[in-house]
Every structure is written in C-alpha cells, then in structure tokens.
Structure 1
Amino acid sequence: MAINALGYLGVRSDKLDDWGDFAGKLLGMQKIDRGGKALAFRMDDRQQRLLVSDEPGETLAFMGWEVEHKSDLELYAARLDVAGVRVQTGSKDLCDRRFVDSLIWFEDPGGNRVELFYGPMIASDPFVPGRPIDGFMTGPLGMGHAVLHVKEIEVMMPFYRDLLDFHVSDFGLEPYGLYFFHVNNRHHSFAMVGSGQIGFHHFMVEFQNLDDVGQGYDLAQLEEGRVAYTLGRHTNDYMTSYYANSPSGFFVENGWGGRIIDPETWEPHQTHDGPSFWGHERLYLTEEGGRKRLRDMRLDAAARGVRAPQVADCPWLYGELAKQGH
C-alpha cells in the first residue's frame, strides 16, 4: 500500500482570466478550457495537472495523491475509517472530471480536501507548453510539491505521517517550524509550515531547464508585485527557484535542479541553516516582519561556508536519471 506522487491540484478562484495568463504564459502550462466554469492545465502527457474552478475562496480546493494499486484505495479507506475519518467514494462523474479511473476523498484535520486516486488518464495529443520551455520534471516524481499553512502541527503530523504514510525528509524549527515529506524520489512532495495559520502556502513546479526558470523570472519582473521571493537556492532540497504571487494570493515556486533521494536509505533529520543558501529575499515581508531575520540566516550560512554538494548531488545527473525512470 503506497501513495507515490502528487498527481494534481485544484484551486478555487473567480479569476479565470488571470489564471489563464499566469499558469499559461508565465508558468508555461498548457491551458484547457473546461466549459467556461473552469480552466485546466497540462504539464505533460496527463490529461490534467491543475484545475481552477470558478468559485469564491481563492485557495486550495483539493490535493490529488496517486496510489500504486487500485486496492490501495480500499486499504486507505479502511484505515482512515478506523481512525474516525469520514471517507467518501468518488462518483463516476467526479472521476471523469478528475480524469482518473477511481478515487476516494476526505478532509485532513485542518479541513483541507485530500483525494487519493488510481489510474490517471493519458492524453492522446502531445503536451504543448504555453511558452517555449523544455518541459517539467514530472513522471514518477509527480506534479511537484504542495505546502500548507498549519495551525496545529501536533495534530497534522500523525495524520500525514502515520495514516497516509508520508515519510519525513527533514525538518527545521527556526525561524518557524517546517516539516518536509517524501512519497517518492523527490526530496519532498509535501510540506507544512507551522505558521499558526490555515491555508495554502504554495505549490512548486520544477522545470527541466534552468533557463526556463530564468526566462520566467524575467517575465515575472515585468509585472508589478508578481515576484514574491527573489531567485535563490534552498538548503534542504537544493532547488534553485523564485516564487511568484499567484492570482489567488498564495505562492507558486518555479524551480530547477531539485534533490533526488533514495527513500530506502534516507534518514530524517533536523536542519539548522535556515531555508536558503542565498537569495529568496521575501519581498512581501517587512524588515520587522521576518525579512531581516531570514536574510541574517542566509548571511550567517554564507559566513560559515555552507554550500550544497556539487558532485554527489548533481541536478543534471538527477534530471537524466529521472527521465530514464531510475
């Protein structure tokens, strides 16, 4: 029984035109019209990776996690039921709208809708990006990662770790609690920010080419207030990225070169160097509201000579291995 990838995400928003430009022209996804009330976006050969529905709320609507076997749905449903979690079986209509064979859904302790699915539909026509890019790092690694604001980490941790079998990659306690989880070889497909809030923090898409990130960064800087975090590199997954403000207010990380791990030998651990080696200046924060504190952590890491390994963790090599299914 295993959840093995983040398959898709859903967002509630009545800003469909803005999302069409943002996900299509900036992120480079392929826009698909779903009949005027929703927009869908492709990233690869899957029929759908992101669905934006014309609803009020401007937040996460659901997360879709793929399971390895169809029977896993029944096993997880039984486990959740014993734990007192109400589980619903997806109707044929819902499965058709998600372009999957079958699914179950439920809510986590924070009220976030979680869908477990089996059998994603593959498109018959090739992926056509919304701007010239080499494509996204998906396949067995999934769509990317999703990060939630969490009010009570002690409640959310056992739900995802113990009931859903998400595996802790690492965690940091300064300047706030950050917990990262893997379900495949991607360093993390899910994370929780112990901010004391409830909501969607960001999702990440990983590009196959660093230049696609850089060219997107140039495009984002043409729009006032579009860049939320400047270009930088994370300390735990070695991702080089920038963060954009989405039309719905949460962030979207645009990254390249993320760390690939071996889940069989990986040991969870605490990190102490802060979120980033360099960059990732939080433009949305005030100096007193955390911007200076995070900058000081980066400068301290630099003064101590903290760097990512350049041989054992080669993003190019990881990219080539991922393409070959290793």
Structure 2
Amino acid sequence: MTIKALGYVGIQSTKLDDWSGFATSLLGMQPVDRGGAVRTFRMDDRKQRLVVTGDDKDGLGFLGWEVEDAAGLETMAARLDQHGVAVRRGTRALAVERRVGDLIVFTDPNGHRVEIFHSPEIASDPFLPGRPISGFKTGPLGMGHVVLNVDNIEVAMRFYRDVLGFHVTDYGLKPYPLYFFHVNGRHHSFAMVGSGKQSFHHFMLELQSLDDVGQGYDLAQLDEGRVAYTLGRHTNDHMTSFYAHTPSEFFVEYGWGAQVIDPATWEPFETHDGPSLWGHERLYLPEDQRGRLREMRLDAARRGVRVPNPTNCAWLDSVIASE
C-alpha cells in the first residue's frame, strides 16, 4: 500500500480576502466555504482541494497525500513508526474538516506538516469554475504538484524516497540540486530544491486547455507584479506554464501539456539542460541570477534541444518508441 496522489494543499495566510480573489478570478477555482478564518476551494468533483487558513504568517500549512483505503493508511502509519517518525491519528473533527474518511499527521524533516488520508468526500453537484476554464487535469494524477526549498537535501531525500516511498523521476545538479518525484503517472507530484532554505516554493495546477493558461497569463499581466516567471516550457516534464505571485510568500505554477509517464517502466536520469527549454524568465530574481538561467536556455537553443512531440499517453509513447 503506497501513496497514490497529492490530494490537497493547506495554506496559512494573513490575506484571506486576497486569496479568495486570486483563487477564483485568476486560477479559476470554485469557492466552497467562507466561515471564520478559513476559505476552501474546489477544482473538480472533490469537495475541496485548497484550504486557506487565516494566520499571523504566510506559507505552507500542510500537504495532504492520498492512499487507497484504511489498510493503506495503517501500512503507512506503521512504516513511519518503524523509521522513528512521530505519528498521530487525526481526530474525527479534523477528518470532517478535511472532508476525508480518516487521516494521520506527522512532520517532515523540514518542519512541514504532512497528512496522509483515505476516502475523500465527493461532491454531488458539478464543479463550477470561478472564471470560464475547461477544467483542471486531476483524477488519478491528483491535485497537481508541490515544490519545497530544503536546507539538507540528503536528509529530505531519505525521508521522501525511503520512508514515504516516492520515486525519483529525474534530477538536475546545476545551478542547484533539484529532484523530482512521482507517485503516479504525473511526471512529478513532489519536488525539492537544495537551496539551503526551508520554505514553500510553489504548487502547480494543470489545466485541460492551453487557452486556459494563455488567458490566465493575460489576466495576470493586468495586475502589476503578479507574474513571477514569464510563459515558458519546462525541459523535463514538458509543461508550458507561467508562475504567479500568490498573496503569500510563494508562487503558483499554472500550466498545460505535461507528459504522463509509465511508473512501471520509468528509469530516473540526470538532466543537463536547465529547468526550462524556453521562456520562464524569472522576473523576481536579480539580473545576475536571471542571466545564468537565461544562458542555460540560450545554450539549449543553440544546440537545438527539443522535447518529443507530446501524445500525453504513456502507453502510446511506448508503442511509438518500440517501432
């Protein structure tokens, strides 16, 4: 029994009202609850995917990882206990709040709260986006992905790979160590950057249509300073996306077209072409840091680096490769 998807993300924020506008009018999520110091949002048939809680600080509140059933939850609890991780059972009240059947709670080596759950509640009414979009790519692939800055990547690697059972998809070592992990067919549901910091870098939402992303990019540019990375394409997962500053101290990646892998046959490898094939100019960085990343993209362009024509189907890709 293993973790099968990223189920939900919880955010702490000093700007609840700003999050309400950002999550609906730009990202296209559906507001659900607006009670007290909590705002929750839907992306699909799940009753909630994003939880924003009022706090005196901004950042990641918790990550919710899904397992198949109660037996899977017990297996993960026992595995964590065997590795000396302090685990506690979530209360009934917390399960109701998270809209799940049951859950366990613990802390990762970077001090982030992690929850593992089973049996998420399914809504009876259809998803109604906050702005006209084709919808989010979720289902078996989960909510999207999350990326953390970590101060000790070796310790974090041992925890997420060896304890939680995440699988390395690929990794890069320049200009900083960067590891990507999959738990299903999504190229990565989790990644970490060995930046020497301990913080939340971003979460990613994948859309069903490139036009959803393009129109979101237009909307983001109307809000001065909202765009953090310009529109671009990632080298490893082939995602076309832009990054937006959230009302808190991290980003949201808004993208389309990532490759879907076959976890049964995938072999991890090192990448050498930098994080982006084109675009993704990091507007928030000082010019010297932007310049180093820009040169990596230009070098890839000089060498004519391309990604394969996407079919977005692991099975079809394998058939084409065999022929």
Match of 1:15 in 2: 15
Match of 2:303 in 1: 304
Give the residue type in structure 2 aligned to 1:195.
Answer: S
Match of 2:159 in 1: 159
Match of 2:75 in 1: 75
Match of 1:218 in 2: 218
TM score, norm. by length of structure 1: 0.95
Match of 2:321 in 1: none
Match of 1:132 in 2: 132
CA offset digits 1:209-244 (Å, max 9, x no partner) = 000000000000001110000000000000000000
Q: Distance in 2 between matches of 1:96 and 1:212?
A: 33
Match of 2:59 in 1: 59
- Are the equivalent residues in 1 in contact too, given 2:2–2:76 (CA < 8 A)? no
Give the residue type in structure 1 aligned to 2:44.
Answer: D
Give the residue type in structure 2 aligned to 1:126.
Answer: P
Q: Distance in 2 between matches of 1:69 and 1:305?
A: 47
Tell me how large the CA RMSD over aligned residues is. Answer: 1.3
Give the residue type in structure 2 aligned to 1:294.
Answer: L
Match of 1:190 in 2: 190
Match of 1:248 in 2: 248
Match of 1:324 in 2: none
Q: Distance in 2 between matches of 1:154 and 1:138?
A: 30
Match status 1:123 vs 2:120: no
Give the residue type in structure 2 aligned to 1:44.
Answer: D
Q: Distance in 2 between matches of 1:128 and 1:72?
A: 32
- Are the equivalent residues in 1 in contact too, given 2:28–2:129 (CA < 8 A)? yes
TM score, norm. by length of structure 2: 0.96
Match of 1:38 in 2: 38
Secondary structure of the 1:117 match is: strand
Identity percentage of aligned residues: 66
Query: Following TM superposition, by how much is the alpha carbon of 1:295 offset from its aligned partner in structure 2, in angstroms?
Result: 0.1
Unpaired runs of 5+ residues, structure 1, are 322-326
Query: Following TM superposition, by how much is the alpha carbon of 1:314 offset from its aligned partner in structure 2, in angstroms?
Result: 2.1
Query: Following TM superposition, by how much is the alpha carbon of 1:72 offset from its aligned partner in structure 2, in angstroms?
Result: 1.4
Match of 1:314 in 2: 311
Give the residue type in structure 2 aligned to 1:35.
Answer: G
Secondary structure of the 1:131 match is: coil
Query: Following TM superposition, by how much is the alpha carbon of 1:203 offset from its aligned partner in structure 2, in angstroms?
Result: 0.1
CA offset digits 1:249-301 (Å, max 9, x no partner) = 2000000001100000000010000000100000001112x100000000000
Give the residue type in structure 2 aligned to 1:307.
Answer: R
Q: Distance in 2 between matches of 1:3 and 1:9?
A: 15
Q: Distance in 1 between matches of 2:92 and 2:134?
A: 35
Secondary structure of the 2:4 match is: strand
- Are the equivalent residues in 1 in contact too, given 2:145–2:188 (CA < 8 A)? yes
User: Which sits farther off after the overlay, 25-34 or 38-47?
Assistant: 25-34
Query: Following TM superposition, by how much is the alpha carbon of 1:34 offset from its aligned partner in structure 2, in angstroms?
Result: 3.5
Secondary structure of the 2:161 match is: helix
User: Which sits farther off after the overlay, 84-93 or 29-38?
Assistant: 29-38
Query: Following TM superposition, by how much is the alpha carbon of 1:58 offset from its aligned partner in structure 2, in angstroms?
Result: 0.6
CA offset digits 1:112-136 (Å, max 9, x no partner) = 1110000000011110000000100
Match of 2:26 in 1: 26
Structure 2 matches for 1:261-272, cutoff 5 A? 261-272=261-272
Q: Distance in 1 between matches of 2:4 and 2:63?
A: 13
Query: Following TM superposition, by how much is the alpha carbon of 1:306 offset from its aligned partner in structure 2, in angstroms?
Result: 0.4
Query: Following TM superposition, by how much is the alpha carbon of 1:81 offset from its aligned partner in structure 2, in angstroms?
Result: 1.2
Secondary structure of the 1:3 match is: coil
Query: Following TM superposition, by how much is the alpha carbon of 1:36 offset from its aligned partner in structure 2, in angstroms?
Result: 2.5
Give the residue type in structure 2 aligned to 1:14.
Answer: T
- Are the equivalent residues in 1 in contact too, given 2:137–2:208 (CA < 8 A)? yes
CA offset digits 1:110-160 (Å, max 9, x no partner) = 101110000000011110000000100000000000000010001000100
Q: Distance in 2 between matches of 1:303 and 1:57?
A: 44
